[in-house]
């Protein structure tokens, strides 16, 4: 593993986690800008993604601290600057909140902004997980005897037995979900449908991968991330139901107008 990149004649090492986070933000900004363009929206997609990434990082770190208070008791305020320890759900909530505020301010609309950002969010999350893998920050899975099991002896949190490389699983999941949403978003969809699909698919993906991760179980044999994933799937399903109803109503209204 490569937690840091050493560059000759440069006084500071470059953390691979931060580097891949930057790459993920650039990729997400590019994809969201392309999505804005194909839908005829004139807004600063790259700037919106940049603000959302910062909000997501802060939210992910704060949620992790709240989720694992023992680390805060041991390390104090230093835990906030640790390169490891970021909670998916906290990043999701903070990122969505930032996008909603920016979408309203840009007069795009909160829900439409989230729909347009869904493919970028999926791709960005998947690419960002490469940073977790390269740095060895502890987001590993359980020990395994499968041929692709990996040890991380030089990671930030070393592990010396083969474990599931769960960040790579999440990379694959993010790329698949992002590709699906991008293809689906090329055609007209009811408002909220793309966001609903993203919440359902990403929630299912995280729920399943948690069975292979080392996170502690807190309720009904599930981890905090799995409970949050269930909430994501439920919210996404309800949004999809609402979106399908909205589409039916709009079609009915158009039919009435044509008849009149």
Q: How far apart are CA 17 and CA 211, in angstroms?
A: 24
Q: Is 104 within a domain?
A: yes
**Top mean-pLDDT range of 59-63, 88-92, 106-110, 224-228:** 106-110
Sign of CA dihedral 199, 100, 88, 19: positive
d(CA 53, CA 94): 9
Host domain of residue 72: 4-188
* 260 within some domain: no
pLDDT tens figures, 198-257: 999 999 999 999 898 887 777 888 887 888 889 999 999 999 999 988 754 344 333 333
Query: pLDDT per residue over 172-199, tens digit each?
Result: 999 999 999 999 888 878 888 999 999 9
Looking at residue 259, its pLDDT comes to 36
- Is residue 248 in a domain? no
> How deeply is 68 buried, as exposed, middle or buried, from its count of CB atoms within 10 A (0-12, 13-18, 19+)?
middle
Number of domains in the chain: 1
For residue 52, being part of any structural domain is answered with: yes
pLDDT band at 30 (very low <50, low <70, confident <90, very high): very high
* pLDDT reported for residue 1: 67
Higher pLDDT, 116 or 5: 116
How far is the C-alpha of 3 from the C-alpha of 198, rounded, in Å? 30
Model confidence over 70-85: pLDDT tens digits?
655 565 555 555 555 5
239 in any annotated domain: no
Residue 122 counted as domain residue: yes
Tell me the pTM. 0.79
């Amino acid at each position: 593993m490569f937690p840091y990149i050493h560059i000759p004649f440069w006084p500071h090492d470059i953390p691979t986690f931060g580097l891949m986070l930057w790459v993920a933000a650039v990729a997400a900004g590019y994809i969201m800008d392309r999505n804005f363009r194909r839908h005829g929206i004139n807004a600063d997609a790259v700037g919106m993604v940049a603000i959302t990434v910062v909000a997501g990082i802060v939210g992910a770190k704060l949620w992790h601290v709240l989720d694992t208070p023992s680390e805060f008791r041991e390390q104090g305020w230093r835990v906030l600057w640790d390169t490891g320890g970021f909670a998916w759900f906290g990043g999701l909530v903070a990122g969505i909140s930032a996008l909603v505020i920016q979408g309203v301010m840009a007069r795009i609309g909160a829900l439409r902004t989230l729909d347009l950002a869904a493919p970028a969010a999926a791709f960005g999350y998947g690419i960002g997980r490469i940073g977790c893998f390269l740095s060895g920050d502890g987001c590993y899975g359980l020990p395994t005897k499968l041929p692709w099991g990996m040890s991380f002896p030089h990671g930030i949190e070393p592990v010396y037995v083969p474990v599931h490389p769960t960040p790579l699983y999440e990379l694959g999941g993010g790329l698949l979900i992002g590709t699906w949403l991008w293809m689906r978003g090329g055609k007209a969809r009811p408002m909220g449908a793309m966001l609903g699909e993203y919440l359902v698919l990403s929630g299912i993906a995280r729920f399943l991968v948690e069975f292979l991760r080392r996170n502690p179980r807190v309720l009904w044999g599930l981890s905090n991330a799995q409970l949050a994933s269930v909430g994501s799937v439920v919210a996404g399903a309800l949004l999809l139901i609402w979106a399908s109803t909205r589409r039916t109503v709009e079609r009915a209204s158009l039919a009435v107008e044509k008849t009149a």
